C-alpha cells in the first residue's frame, strides 16, 4: 500500500513538470511539423536526452523519431 502511494505521488510530480507534459505531446515537440522528431527538436523540450538515448529510441535507424518511437522514449 505504501509503495502504491509513493508511486501516485511520483506520477503527480512528473505530470506537473511542464517539460514532461509537453513531451507527451508529439505535435508540440515536432516544431517544424514534418511528422517526425529530430534530435534538435527533442532536446529543445528535453535537454537531458542524450544522442545515445535518441539513437536507441530510433528503432528503424531513420535518424528521426516517428510518433511510435517517440512514445517509447517519452514513456521511459
Ligand atoms: Ca520535425
Ligand atoms: Ca525512426
Task: Report which of residues 66 and 24 the model is more confident about.
Answer: 66
The ligand with the least distance to the CA atom of 39 is: 1
Alpha-helical segments (H) within 1-76: 2-15, 18-23, 26-29, 39-45, 51-57, 67-74
Collect residues with CB below 5 Å from ion ligand 2.
58, 60, 62, 69
- CA 2 / ligand 2 centre spacing (Å): 39
pLDDT tens-digit map of 10-63? 666 556 555 555 556 898 899 999 999 999 999 998 899 999 999 999 999 999
Q: Which domains does the chain have, with CATH numbers?
A: 18-74 (1.10.238.10)
Grid coordinates in use for 16? 506537473
Q: Is the pTM of this model over 0.85?
A: no
Amino acid at each position: 500500500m505504501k509503495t502504491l502511494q509513493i508511486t501516485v505521488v511520483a506520477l503527480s510530480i512528473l505530470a506537473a513538470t511542464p517539460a514532461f507534459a509537453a513531451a507527451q505531446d508529439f505535435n508540440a515537440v515536432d516544431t517544424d511539423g514534418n511528422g517526425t522528431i529530430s534530435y534538435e527538436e527533442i532536446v529543445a523540450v528535453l535537454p537531458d536526452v542524450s544522442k545515445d538515448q535518441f539513437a536507441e529510441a530510433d528503432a528503424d535507424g531513420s535518424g528521426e523519431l516517428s510518433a511510435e518511437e517517440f512514445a517509447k522514449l517519452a514513456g521511459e
